[in-house]
Amino acid sequence: MNAHPTREEDFDLYALGALEGDEKQAIERHVAECAECARKLAEARGRIALLALAAPPVAPSPGAKQQLLRRIHAEDTARISPAAATKAAAAERREFFPKWWSRTMAAAGVAAALAAIFLWTENARLNQRLEKMQASLDQQAKDLHEAREEAEMFESAETRMVALTPMPGHPMTARVLYNAKMGMVMCDVQAPAAPQKMSYQLWVMTKGGPISAGAFNTGSTGWSSWMSDVPKGTQPMGFAITIEPEGGMPHPTGPMVMTTRIS
C-alpha cells in the first residue's frame, strides 16, 4: 500500500479537482486501500459541497451584458438576414447566459473553497502555536510554584536536614531536607546510574510503614535533585533508598543502598 498523503490539504485540493497527474493518481490508489483516508476524502468532498452552496451569487455586470449583446448582434447582422440574425441572437442569448452563469458560480465556489482551506490551515497552525504557548506558560507557572515552595521550605524554622549513610559497596552521598508541617521532602543525591530497567526510590520511614518520596535515576550526570509531597504532619523515623523496578514501587521490594535514622 502506498504511503499516506503528507498534507491534509491534499484531500481538499483533490475534492476541488485541483490535483492532476501523479498526485491525483497517488491519492486515488491510496484511498482504494485505506479506509481512514477514504473517510478524510469523503469529509473533504462534503466541505467543498457546503462551501460551494454557501458562496454568494455573483451577478453579471449590466454594462458587460449589453456590450456583449451589441457585438453579437453586429457580427451576425453583417453575415445573415435581419430575421435570421434576430433568431440567432435570441438562441445565442439563451445558450450563453446559463453557461456563463454556471461558470461564474463555479469559479466563485472554487475561490470561496480555496479561501476557506487557507483560513482552516492558518487556524490550525495558530491553534498549535497557542497550545505550545499555553504548555510553556503552564510549565513556567509550575516551576514558579515549586521555587516558592522551595524558598518557603528553606526559610522555615521547622525544616530539618539529615545525611544518609551508604551501605557497603554503594559509593553514594545523599541529603534529605524535610518539613513535617508542610508535608514536603527535598533530596539531593550523587550516585552511579541505577542498573538497566531499574530506579532508585526514596522512602520516608514512619510508624505506619514506608511512604514513597519519589523514584529517580542519576543518569550520566551522576546527580539527581527533586522535591516531593508527603501527607502533612508525617513524622519520619528515618529515610532509606532502595533499588526498585523502573518507575518505582508502592512498597519497598529491592535492596537497600542508603539509610539513616532520626532520633
Look at residue 204 in the predicted model and tell me its pLDDT. Answer: 96
Residue 241 has pLDDT above 90, yes or no: yes
- 171 shares its domain with 249: yes
pLDDT in tens, 174-227: 999 999 999 999 999 999 999 999 999 999 999 999 999 999 999 888 999 988
Q: What percent of the chain has pLDDT over 70?
A: 67
Strand partners, 226: 187
Residue 164 has pLDDT above 90, yes or no: yes
Residue 135 has pLDDT above 60, yes or no: yes
Query: For all residues of the chain together, what is the average pLDDT?
Result: 78
- 29 shares its domain with 116: no
- 171 shares its domain with 247: yes
Q: What percent of the chain has pLDDT over 90?
A: 37
Whether residue 2 lies inside any domain: the answer is no
H or E element that contains 227: strand 223-229
Q: How many domains does the chain have?
A: 3
Whichever domain contains 206, its CATH number is 2.60.40
How many CB atoms are closer than 10 A to CB 193? Answer: 14
- 28 shares its domain with 69: no
Residue 251 has pLDDT above 90, yes or no: yes
pLDDT in tens, 76-98: 555 545 555 555 555 555 554 45
- 206 shares its domain with 122: no
Picking from 83, 115, 150, the residue at the C-terminal end of a domain is: 150
- 45 shares its domain with 66: no
The per-residue DSSP string of 50-66 comes to HHHHHSPP-PPPHHHHH
Question: Cα(93)–Cα(76) distance, rounded to whole angstroms?
Answer: 13
Residue 234 has pLDDT above 70, yes or no: yes
Look at residue 260 in the predicted model and tell me its pLDDT. Answer: 93
Picking from 117, 150, 183, the residue at the C-terminal end of a domain is: 150
Residue 6 has pLDDT above 50, yes or no: yes
Domain of 216 in residue numbering reads as: 160-261
Whether residue 155 lies inside any domain: the answer is no
Picking from 103, 131, 150, the residue at the C-terminal end of a domain is: 150
Whether residue 4 lies inside any domain: the answer is no
Residue 26 has pLDDT above 60, yes or no: yes
Question: Cα(33)–Cα(60) distance, rounded to whole angstroms?
Answer: 45
Look at residue 254 in the predicted model and tell me its pLDDT. Answer: 94
Average pLDDT over residues 127-134: 77
- 204 shares its domain with 246: yes
Whether residue 113 lies inside any domain: the answer is yes
Whether residue 1 lies inside any domain: the answer is no
